[in-house]
Amino acid sequence: MRAPMSIVIPTLNAAAELGPCLAALTEGLQAGLIRELIVSDGGSGDGTLALAEAAGAVVVSGAPGRGAQVARGVAAAGGGWLLILHADTRLAPGWSAAVSAHVAGRERAGWFRLRFRGGGVPGRIVAGWANLRSRLGLPYGDQGLLVPAALLARVGGYPTLPLMEDVAVARLLRGQMGPLDGVAETSAARYLAEGWLRRGARNLWLLARYLAGADPVLLAREYR
């Protein structure tokens, strides 16, 4: 019986983070979970593709934009389950047991608890809010998304938005997802560069505007 899960990672000049992300997936190979690794690249000019190819990944390439990149990766996937990860996310040890229990027991989507690398007290506060928000039905992409391929297809597939694609898919899956007993550790670099309060306020403002109907293309330009 083939392994059940395809892992999809969108990348753009992610060489500095991709190696540790892939290393954390090793236990999934040992557990017989991973059928294939798909790296969906948006035009990297660094060592991202060399790392992906060395890891044995299937590489699909196209225009940048995380939603479209994930959608291309999903289209190339053959697994009955999909695990969508950001390149700067590292799954904490023990994640494979949580995934194994989930895929054996239910046809629902799942997400991991968030933790920041190097975030200190502000990182713990922001992660606590993120984990509460997730339980209210709105996990973000840096927490990973484990989803049955058939379920994702039934709700219309992965949204090809340039920003808020993770919010859009969470809304599509509302009532059909829940927490996994594992941790996704993500980089605090952007928060450290911009400031925790400033970055957090900016994210909330973008979210509020998106939920109020703002154009994701316009929001993506502002986000950059």
End-to-end CA distance of the chain: 44
pTM above 0.75, yes or no: yes
Domains of the chain: 5-193 (3.90.550.10)
| CA 55 to each of CA 36, 181, 183, 220: distance values in angstroms, whole numbers, following the listed order | 11, 27, 23, 31
How do residues 72-116 score in pLDDT, each as one tens digit? 999 999 999 999 999 999 999 999 999 999 998 778 999 999 999
Q: Which helix (H) or strand (E) holds 110?
A: strand 109-117
- Note whether 181 and 98 are within 8 A (CB): yes
As a whole-number percent, the residues of the chain with pLDDT over 90 amount to 92
Helix, strand, or coil (residue 145) = strand
Adjacent-strand bridge partners of 41 = 11, 61
Q: Is it the case that residue 224 has pLDDT exceeding 90?
A: no
Sheet of 34-41: strand order equals 58-61, 34-41, 5-11, 81-84, 145-148, 109-117, 177-187, 89-91
Q: What is the pLDDT of residue 75?
A: 98
How do residues 138-156 score in pLDDT, each as one tens digit? 999 999 999 999 999 999 9
How do residues 13-61 score in pLDDT, each as one tens digit? 999 999 999 999 999 999 999 999 999 999 999 999 999 999 999 999 9
What's the whole-number mean pLDDT along residues 122-128?
95
Q: What is the pLDDT of residue 1?
A: 65
